[in-house]
């Protein structure tokens, strides 16, 4: 029909009075009761269902990034709830907004970095570890020459190693999914330590990003994809904040201890 216009085409979902399709499938009969949320999310961004192995690895990545305690993201969500408890969507959004270059964003940055490094060596047999080593060297060297950090390495808290990382590699190995992206990231960490003399172990976001592109998630979708998981963590923080609030006491303590302005004068 002439009125259907290609620039408004979407493959994500559509609704008519009597039908809803998502990812081109009939939502009630082909998705509800058939797919988990993780499977649907995977289907939506890769346009195919994950294998059981892929689903297990993707779920492992998602649960590994869902929560990390009273992080800046969780605190921002809880402090937003303090002011607007009736608008929980705003508190969730506030908690997601800090997923940038410092927190969570590195999952996507690592994904992009690995995909680009491999793309520059298109004909190489990536199943050969000896072939990956020069790719890692070139990628680390180029990054450092440009004055940029190598993404996916180091963590402010888990300095001696991030406990999520060996477990994620174990799961990938057990599922037959320890492919070139995950292996390249290991070599990147090794090369980085050799070049700089400073051990920076792979962090959880980096390993997660590598695993996501390993199973075919486009690198540009990695950052938003892990936000699905972080939303789950934030839901739990808001449930707890409703019962056992820290927003007001935290504010009051910060104000009391703040050295600036009238606080100091009247202290």
**What is the footprint of a copy of itself within residues 228-257 (CB under 8 A)?**
228-229, 231-240, 242, 244, 246-251, 254-257
Rule CB under 8 A: say whether 67 interacts with a copy of itself.
yes
CA distance 77 to 90: 8
Tell the smallest beta-carbon distance from residue 109 to a copy of itself (Å): 11
Count of residues that interact with a copy of itself, criterion CB under 8 A = 136
Tell the smallest beta-carbon distance from residue 211 to a copy of itself (Å): 11
CA distance 215 to 177: 8
> In terms of CB distance, is 20 or 142 closer to a copy of itself?
20
Taking contact as CB under 8 A, which single stretch among the options 135-143, 179-187, 194-202, 220-228 is the one that binds a copy of itself? Answer: 220-228
Cβ neighbours for 132, distance < 8 A, ≥ 6 positions apart: 124, 126, 180, 183, 184, 187
Cβ neighbours for 235, distance < 8 A, ≥ 6 positions apart: 92
The alpha carbon of residue 57 and the mean position of all alpha carbons in its chain are separated, in whole angstroms, by 13
Question: Hey, which residues does 191 pair with through a beta bridge?
Answer: none
CA distance 264 to 258: 7
> In terms of CB distance, is 21 or 124 closer to a copy of itself?
21
Taking contact as CB under 8 A, which single stretch among the options 23-31, 114-122, 125-133, 190-198 is the one that binds a copy of itself? Answer: 23-31
Other beta carbons within 10 Å of 131:
13
Helix/strand/coil for 202: strand
Among 48, 87, 127, 128, binds a copy of itself (CB under 8 A): 87
> In terms of CB distance, is 127 or 258 closer to a copy of itself?
258
- Residue 152 backbone dihedrals phi, psi, to 5 degrees: 90, 0
Query: Which of positions 158-177 make contact with a copy of itself (CB under 8 A)?
Result: 158-161, 163-164, 166-168, 170-171
> In terms of CB distance, is 63 or 126 closer to a copy of itself?
63
Rule CB under 8 A: say whether 13 interacts with a copy of itself.
yes
Query: Which of positions 26-65 make contact with a copy of itself (CB under 8 A)?
Result: 27-29, 31-33, 35-38, 40-41, 44-45, 55-56, 59-60, 62-64
Could you give the C-alpha distances from 112 to 71, 172, 209, 212, in angstroms and in order? 25, 19, 9, 11
Query: Which of positions 112-151 make contact with a copy of itself (CB under 8 A)?
Result: none
> In terms of CB distance, is 192 or 237 closer to a copy of itself?
237
Contact 29, 18 (CB under 8 A): no
Query: Which of positions 196-215 make contact with a copy of itself (CB under 8 A)?
Result: none
């Amino acid at each position: 029909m002439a009125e259907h216009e290609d620039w408004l085409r979407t493959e994500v979902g559509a609704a008519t009075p009597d039908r809803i399709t998502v990812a081109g499938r009939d939502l009630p009969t082909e998705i509800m009761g058939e797919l988990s949320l993780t499977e649907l999310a995977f289907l939506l961004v890769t346009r195919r269902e994950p294998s059981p192995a892929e689903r297990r690895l993707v779920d492992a990545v998602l649960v590994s990034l869902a929560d990390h305690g009273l992080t800046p993201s969780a605190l921002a969500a809880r402090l937003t709830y303090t002011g607007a408890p009736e608008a929980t969507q705003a508190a969730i959004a506030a908690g997601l907004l800090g997923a940038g270059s410092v927190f969570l964003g590195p999952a996507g940055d690592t994904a992009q970095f690995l995909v680009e490094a491999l793309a520059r060596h298109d004909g190489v047999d990536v199943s050969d570890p000896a072939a990956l080593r020069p790719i890692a060297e070139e990628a680390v060297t180029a990054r450092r020459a440009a004055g940029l950090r190598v993404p996916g390495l180091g963590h402010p808290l888990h300095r001696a190693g991030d406990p999520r990382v060996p477990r994620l590699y174990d799961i990938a190995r057990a599922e037959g999914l320890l492919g070139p992206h995950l292996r390249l990231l290991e070599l990147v960490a090794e090369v980085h330590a050799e070049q700089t003399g400073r051990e920076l172990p792979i962090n959880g976001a980096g390993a997660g990003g590598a695993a996501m592109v390993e199973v075919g998630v486009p690198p540009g979708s990695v950052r938003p994809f892990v936000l699905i998981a972080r939303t789950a963590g934030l839901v739990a923080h808001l449930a707890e904040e409703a019962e056992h609030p820290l927003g007001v006491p935290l504010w009051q303590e910060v104000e009391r201890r703040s050295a600036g302005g009238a606080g100091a004068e009247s202290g």
